[in-house]
């Protein structure tokens, strides 16, 4: 029963925030901080659900400097947990099919986020080159889930190349953001729902890299994020064992 009530609350909270985002974004369409403001509203759901969010450090990119942020993607709950560490002046990169999701699709676009078509793999580099031009013109950073899908408790999945092609084409550093495994540490059916821990990793420079470096860059980033994920999970497990 508790799980169902909380799931219903999350759905309602999500829809209300989407409507508020649409209203704000109509007044300032595609403004660079629309998405950040939306994220702050999404965060309000966590204390209501008795989820404790721990942020280990601050973003290493300061002010309006640009970067490509890559984040591990786990469950639908990411909408709320990842919102706790969303930088300013950001656009989220989403698959084109999201535009057809009622309410969310319009809110996502009006907030200034970017849709891409991932089906045409033959033109993947050209697609990211176009996104790089948009990013440079708008002066924003980009937030991407490099796994391309939710891991659903299966651990960090292999990375798609898009985020790394974009970073190289735009010449921007990659900043990994890692969140602890929500399937291990959050249970909506418990009164004290659990904990999520997030951490920014050190920026990975891309200056001077070429298309040939996309795969090695993706592998390096995956290694760093996997090590961080294991460390965060171990920390939370030790804290839980200690009571």
Q: What is the pLDDT of residue 120?
A: 64
- Examine the pLDDT at 121 and tell me if it is beyond 80: no
Classify 194 as helix, strand or coil. Answer: strand
The H or E element containing residue 163 is helix 162-170
pTM of the prediction?
0.94
The answer to whether residue 129 scores a pLDDT higher than 90 is no
Q: What pLDDT digit, counting tens, does each position of 19-37 carry?
A: 999 999 999 999 989 999 9
Q: Span 145-155, mean pLDDT? A: 86
Q: If you average pLDDT over residues 152-174, what whole number do you get?
A: 93
Reported as a single tens digit per residue, the pLDDT across 97-108 is 888 988 889 999
Q: What rounded mean pLDDT belongs to the chain?
A: 92
- Report the distance separating Cα 168 and Cα 75, nearest Å: 28
Top-level class of domain 2-242: alpha beta
Average pLDDT over residues 134-139: 92
Give 179's strand partners: 198
Break the chain into its structural domains and give their ranges: 2-242
- How crowded is the C-beta side of 194, counted as CA atoms within 13 Å? 18
Q: pLDDT at position 150, please?
A: 84
């Amino acid at each position: 029963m508790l799980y169902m009530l909380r799931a219903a609350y999350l759905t309602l909270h999500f829809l209300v925030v989407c409507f508020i985002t649409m209203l704000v974004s109509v007044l300032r369409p595609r403004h660079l901080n629309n998405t950040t403001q939306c994220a702050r509203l999404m965060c309000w759901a966590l204390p209501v659900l008795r989820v404790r969010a721990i942020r280990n450090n601050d973003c290493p990119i300061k002010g309006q400097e640009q970067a490509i942020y890559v984040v591990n993607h786990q469950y639908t709950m990411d909408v709320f947990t990842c919102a706790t560490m969303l930088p300013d002046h950001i656009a989220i990169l989403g698959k084109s099919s999201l535009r057809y999701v009622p309410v969310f699709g319009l809110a996502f676009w009006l907030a200034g986020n970017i849709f891409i078509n991932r089906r045409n793999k033959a033109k993947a580099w050209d697609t990211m080159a176009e996104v790089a031009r948009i990013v440079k013109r708008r002066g924003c950073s980009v937030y991407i889930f490099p796994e391309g899908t939710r891991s659903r408790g299966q651990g960090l999945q292999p990375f798609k190349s898009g985020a790394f092609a974009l970073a190289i084409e735009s010449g921007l550093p990659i900043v990994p953001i890692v969140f602890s495994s929500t399937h291990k540490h959050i249970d909506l059916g418990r009164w004290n729902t659990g904990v999520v821990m997030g951490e920014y990793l050190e920026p990975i420079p891309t200056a001077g890299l070429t298309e040939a470096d996309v795969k090695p860059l993706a592998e390096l980033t995956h290694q760093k994020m996997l090590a961080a994920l294991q460390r965060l999970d171990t920390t939370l497990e030790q804290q839980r064992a200690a009571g």
